Amino acid sequence: MPDCTVVVITYNDAGRLPRAVHSVLEQTLRGLEVIISDDASTDDTPRVAHELMRADPRVRYIRREVNSGGCGAPRNDGLDAALSPYVMFLDSDDTLPRHACKSMLAEIERTGADFVSGQISRLHEPTGRTERYYPQLFGRRRVVEGIREEPELFLDCFSTNKLFDVSFLRRHALRFPEDIHYEDHVFGAELYCAARRFAVVPWVVYLWRRSPEHVSISMSTKELDNVRHRLEAARRSDAILRAHGFGDLVPDRQYRFVRHDLRVYLNPMPSRDVVWAKEFAALVRPYLEQVPREVIERMHPTVRVCCRLILADRAEDLRVAARSLNGPQPPPREVVRREGRTYWGATPEPGLDITALRLAELPYTASRLRHEVVALATDGTRLRMRVRTYDPFAALTEWTAFLRCGPVTVPLDTVACPDGGLVSEVVLDLAKVRERCDPRIGFTRPDGLTTTDTLLADPGMAPFDVGPLTVSAEGSAGQLRLRPRRTPRVVLSRLKRGVLRRLSTPRLKLGAYKAIIKVLPPRADLALFEADCGKSYTGSPRAVYEEVRRRRLPVRVVWSVARGRANFPAGVPLVRRGSWRYVWTMARAGVWVDSHGFPLDYPKPHGTRYLQTWHGQGIKSVGFDAPDLRADLPGPREQWRAAVARWDALISPSAAFSRYFVPALGYEGRVLRYGTPRCDALVRGVPPKGLRERLEIPPGRRILLYAPTYRDSAKGSGVSVRVDLEELAEAVSDEWVLILRTHPVERYKVPQHLLHFVRPAGSYPEINDLLLVSDALLTDYSSVMCDYAVTGKPMLFFVDDWDEYRLTERGVNTDLPAIAPGPCLTTTAELVECLRDLPAVHASFAAKYAAARRLWCEEERGDAAARVVADFFGASATPVRERPQLRSAS
């Protein structure tokens, strides 16, 4: 008897069937059988199935004589034929990850559950991008004692992401209905009623492959019969719950319908015509009228609006509102504000309340305008447009308008409409546009602040060509997009770039570099500076550079800049990091200065002097104690040791740094104990003029700078933002504005409804400005705490994952809760309480704060850059005639 049966259902899918079957046969669980359940295919499926059977005896093939028209019958056939104690279901256009069967079998045997459910991941072909389905449902590995314990799991009504105990299914006579589509929903309702214990695992067990060439039943959303089937599945599911004594959970099941099933049809609604929208509303309205109001109230405000418009039979308005569900999520054309509430449209109805979106409270640079293209015409390489701009929140008072498309910016003349809003006539010459771009219209106020938004075209518009570009309406919102056409010139350009890439591999560049430094000596009057691997003009390298310029030393400085960075001041010579010019500059520069490390494999030229400023101190493990070097693997450790050996001097800001960081880095050379050059500005304590205005901080509000560090195991995931910003905004947004400064390696997008309270500053070029303008710092384990101590202002520490961070994540060199110069918090409620009584909280940590300043800031006197430059470069102040420099990052 095999350990597990996988039923692969198929219909006229001979091309993809082998891929699905092989994904099962290649499982790490070897004791399994595959049942190909064919729903009377008329293509080459029988031949392909027999070939698979001959190739592997674990494959069986069963076939229906007449097509059933759905998925229920072939699944039931496969279930009846299963020989093993456990069964899974797989569609022939999808695949299983390699360990899916083994991991779920182990889980069901460990827990004794009736079934195990795991994470589904959408795999978008041909890009290969994956997207987890409702990841919050599968975040924890757990056993659920019946659906009453977690009714939100009605969102998981798939049969394909589960391993079932066959005896449990047969004992309860659980079968898939064979007369409707979306049989999973009905089967899932019966399953949850019967199961007394089921398990949930967080790993991906099913790859739902999405291909634009293949339209499955679930993708056939334009067919009104598809809507009827889904509604019938919802009604039957509700009836099953009531019949089995779970009537009180019907609203939870209906929540799934409104949140998921209804959205399937609302998302493409803008591309449907009014007749379709009206027929759809007529079909859905009777069921939606039975859904309790409190279920609708749990939805996103725009979904609530769509529900209200369906119930009111306002089909045209429904199409307009649905454009705000996805993509750029444009604002309404019109709103009404009454007694502090904001309503969609022209009438203040309760079902149209969108106050929770906070669109009326956004700062100017984040304010939302709606730009609809109402007419398009072409003339050679020129695109002519008439654009209607809606300003529902009266953000525009005095402005200069423009349209930007890649390298092209066109000033706009706008005309006010009698019924509100503006109309612009635009002529855009696309001859110079070479890359993909989304045109944006912007409005700049006299104070220099600008707000921009994308353009919306008819979502049903067919793509057309203008000169070298194709114009299209992308996504369900119809966002206007320009893409290069596949012309001979474009193909040749791509081939050229491909050849250049092959001739510009890291290995070739390193070889050329080594050859150059053997024959050409470095120039003593040339220096290469770099901060944070070229990401910005900041930190101690910036402070040292400005001191070199102030002294007019006889050194020509070139700055390294990463691709796509444009936050360097005018007049600073640039070279793009990793380019051939960068390789040449590294080889010729007699001085290197950086904060993080030049490319590790590049040996320092003989005679070049290297000043390593480093980029922080604090409690985190670094160097040989960090996760990437902690393992006893000789390759990375030797590479790091050789890279550190290039340093001629290392700036140490404190005795604590010298005591831990210097040996942890494996450095044995000269140490400059003069303080931190980048902290000189903090000692002076003067924030840049007008910074509060540029950050759009309302008068009277205090500024909380939130600067968490990344997590090594989840870089770029956004998990470092651990404070509940929504809860925090609800509690303190009347008194505080939060500036969110995520780590440069992190990716986190602030939800639009929080932008009234949160100012995203992850890409702000100079963190010192933010330290100076803020009233308090909220951090976790970031080294920014050491710099902030210079200011003497309050600090708070959000350390809800302290044990995980110190034991299994980065690791630490100090017990933060024991020395922290501020409270260590684990909940947002605790943070709110501290902010409401911050002066007293700060005063209670006076002794620890003083100790922290002695530990980290004893050398900070405001002259670190001057002392470092005098020592490393020499005290010469000989004037040098500046050479004209080209500002280039190529």
Quick check: 88 pLDDT over 60? yes
Quick check: 887 pLDDT over 60? no
Average pLDDT over residues 299-326: 96
pLDDT score for 881: 33
Average pLDDT over residues 52-68: 96
Q: State the sign of the Cα–Cα–Cα–Cα dihedral 847, 805, 655, 616.
A: negative
Quick check: 212 pLDDT over 80? no
CB 812 within 8 A of CB 806: yes
Percent of the chain clearing pLDDT 70 (strictly above): 97
Quick check: 488 pLDDT over 80? no
Report the mean per-residue pLDDT for the chain.
Answer: 93
Amino acid at residue number 356: A
Quick check: 41 pLDDT over 90? yes
pLDDT score for 674: 95
Give residue 503's pLDDT band: very low, low, confident or very high (50, 70, 90): confident
Task: Give me 82's structure tokens.
Answer: 């299963």
Place of tokens 């470095």: 522
* H helical segments located in 90-142: 100-111
CB 313 within 8 A of CB 285: yes
Phi, psi of 617 (to 5 degrees): -130, -155
Comparing 182-196, 203-217, 545-559, the range with the smallest average pLDDT is: 203-217
Q: Which residue has the higher pLDDT, 256 or 874?
A: 256
Comparing 373-377, 469-473, 535-539, 561-565, the range with the smallest average pLDDT is: 561-565
Comparing 298-302, 322-326, 365-369, 505-509, the range with the smallest average pLDDT is: 505-509
Q: How far apart are CA 255 and CA 291, in angstroms?
A: 8
Quick check: 499 pLDDT over 90? no
* 188 closest CA partner among 295, 125, 90, 115: 115
Average pLDDT over residues 160-166: 97
Phi, psi of 33 (to 5 degrees): -125, 150
Tens digits of residue pLDDT in 823-843: 999 999 999 999 999 999 999
Q: What is the DSSP letter of 661?
A: I
Tens digits of residue pLDDT in 443-452: 999 999 999 9
pLDDT score for 369: 96
Average pLDDT over residues 31-53: 96
pLDDT score for 490: 67
Other Cβ atoms within 10 Å of 432 Cβ, number: 12
Tens digits of residue pLDDT in 328-359: 999 999 999 999 999 999 999 989 999 999 99
Give residue 434's pLDDT band: very low, low, confident or very high (50, 70, 90): confident
Q: How far apart are CA 870 and CA 859, in angstroms?
A: 16
**CB-facing half-sphere around the CA of 539: CA atoms within 13 A:** 22
Percent of the chain clearing pLDDT 90 (strictly above): 83
Quick check: 585 pLDDT over 90? yes
Quick check: 551 pLDDT over 60? yes
604: which residues sit within 8 A by CB, 6+ positions away?
A: 592, 610, 646
pLDDT score for 72: 95
pLDDT score for 877: 39
* 692 closest CA partner among 617, 625, 770: 770
Q: How far apart are CA 648 and CA 868, in angstroms?
A: 13
Other Cβ atoms within 10 Å of 30 Cβ, number: 11
pTM of the predicted model over 0.75: yes
pLDDT score for 423: 95
Q: How far apart are CA 584 and CA 338, in angstroms?
A: 65
Give residue 19's pLDDT band: very low, low, confident or very high (50, 70, 90): very high
pLDDT score for 713: 84
Give residue 814's pLDDT band: very low, low, confident or very high (50, 70, 90): very high
Quick check: 889 pLDDT over 50? no
Strand, helix or coil at 201?
Answer: strand
pLDDT score for 886: 26
* 651 closest CA partner among 666, 638, 669, 637: 669
Place of tokens 């050679």: 380
CB 551 within 8 A of CB 544: no
pLDDT score for 498: 77
